[in-house]
Amino acid sequence: IIIPTDVYRASLHETRVFNILTSVRGGTQIPLDYVRREFESLDLSDSFTAALYTATSHLTAPFAVRSSAVVEDAPTSSWAGQFLTILGVQTSGLARSLVRCWSSIFTAPVASYASVNNLDLRQIYMAVVIQEMISPIWAGVLFTGINLKRQKNSNSVLFEAVRGLGEKLVSGAIGPEVRAEARLSDFGIRSREIRRSSDARRMHHPDESSKIPDLVISELARGASKLQEIHDQEFLDIEW
């Protein structure tokens, strides 16, 4: 389920936040803590909340409620981990989680990241994605056009994985337990690296001790290649 940016814009107009943002002029800092608290106190209309529950009635809780801001995944700035993702949300908590995702625009890290990228927080609009959660054995991220040394290589896809939910990897809370490099030409595995605690050990051939089947890595590489074609981009950052 996708809550589009239009809903964010309309909700913004219903709060005192809108008046604050429109009154701020160049050189004046937005009072982030106050704005965020005001936004988080927003009560969505009964009609919208009912529509939200109806739209998700065919899905099974718990849910992941994820930000999808218009500035994310840009060619020069990924915004990875800047906005809020809320996991394990029950149906009764969807509306409040939606508002919390919106309000995550008004945090110090986001303001700093926006400043570095010459963006005003008022230029950021956010859609929100609501998904059924699963219990993965492994999850992670793929980077196309990057090798295991994080150097550009058009025939490579870098694979990073952790056990269980991938949010702890994406948020930067922990590093990858397994890293691998596959070829985009034939989806074969070029090398693999397994990390235990603070140690890292590289193997130039697949090792069963990683417990991630070669076929999984190869199929993920194949999927990454298809996404490159669809988006006509060499460098992609893909969560799986």
Each residue of 37-73: b (16+ CB within 10 Å) or e?
ebbeebebeeeeeeebeeebeeeeeebbbbbbbebbb
Does the structure show a pLDDT above 80 at 17? no
CB 137 within 8 A of CB 201: no
Predicted confidence at residue 199, as pLDDT, reads 38
Which residue has tokens 């899905």? 59
pLDDT value for 18: 73
pLDDT digit string (tens) for 137-189? 999 999 999 999 889 999 999 999 999 999 888 877 889 999 999 999 999 99
For the residues 24-33, what does the mean pLDDT come to? Answer: 69
Tokens matching residue 139 = 């999850």
Contact predicate 201/216, CB 8 Å: no
Stretch 198-222: mean pLDDT: 66
Q: What is the predicted pLDDT for the residue at 24? A: 65
Q: Please report the pLDDT score of residue 25 as a whole number.
A: 58
> Which of residues 21 and 82 earns the better pLDDT score?
82
**Of 98, 94, 74, which is closest to residue 84 (Cα–Cα)?**
98
Looking from the CA of 181 toward its CB, the CA atoms found within 13 Å total 19
85-89: strand order across its sheet: 2-3, 126-132, 63-69, 85-89
Name all contacts of 145-149 with Cβ < 8 Å and 24+ positions apart.
145/234, 145/235, 145/236, 146/235, 147/181, 147/190, 148/179, 148/180, 148/181, 148/190, 148/191, 148/193, 148/202
What type of residue is 24? Answer: V
- Averaged over 33-45, what is the pLDDT? 86
pLDDT tens for residues 176-205? 999 999 999 999 998 888 876 343 444 444
160: nearest Cα among 229, 225, 210, 234: 210
Residue type present at position 58: H
Percent of the chain with pLDDT over 90: 49
H-run or E-run covering 214? helix 214-231
Higher pLDDT among residues 13 and 154, named by residue:
154
Burial class (CB in 10 A: 0-12, 13-18, 19+), 195: middle
Q: Return the pLDDT at 203.
A: 41
